[in-house]
Amino acid sequence: GQNIDQPTEMTATEGAIVQINCTYQTSGFNGLFWYQQHAGEAPTFLSYNVLDGLEEKGRFSSFLSRSKGYSYLLLKELQMKDSASYLCAVRSGGVTDSWGKFQFGAGTQVVVTP
């Protein structure tokens, strides 16, 4: 099975930086994804890591350490519109699944205050 843990909620002020951590336990790791989801809307893709290291995309960066089962999403220069839930998702393959299952964490609600 897989366990994915991320904090329930984080609060930060506009213009600040927030780091959302995600730890996971899985076998047959095949990639880690971060999604943003505003209330009542569909998740939207933010980033993908399959190799160790940092991936930077504008104000958002994501880091992965496979040996530690750890990832973080870094949000810089926070804006009010960044208030949303951030979902960490892990894909892992198995004997019976050709390309692997996805499992999502419960999400971290980020609240950006003025």
Partner 1 sequence: DSGVTQTPKHLITATGQRVTLRCSPRSGDLSVYWYQQSLDQGLQFLIQYYNGEERAKGNILERFSAQQFPDLHSELNLSSLELGDSALYFCASSVDSGSTDTQYFGPGTRLTVL
Which residue, 99 or 114, is less far from partner 1 as judged by CB? 99
CB of 78 to partner 1, least distance (A): 24
Residue 113, sorted as left (phi over 0), alpha (psi -120 to 50) or beta, turns out to be: beta
Among 8-16, 40-48, 60-68, 72-80, which window interacts with partner 1 (CB under 8 A)? 40-48
At residue 94, what are phi and psi to the nearest 5 degrees? -145, -175
Q: Mask: binding to partner 1, 82-101, rule CB under 8 A, as x and -?
A: -----x-x-x-----xxxxx
Query: Does 56 help bind partner 1 (rule: CB under 8 A)?
Result: no
Q: By the 8 A CB rule, do 61 and 55 touch?
A: yes
Which token pair is 32?
Answer: 């880690």
**70 lies in the binding site for partner 1 (CB under 8 A):** no
**41 binds partner 1, rule: CB under 8 A:** yes
Residue 65's SS3 state is strand
Q: Is 27 strand, coil or helix?
A: coil
Q: Note the residues at the interface with partner 1 (CB under 8 A).
A: 31, 33, 41-45, 48, 87, 89, 91, 97-107
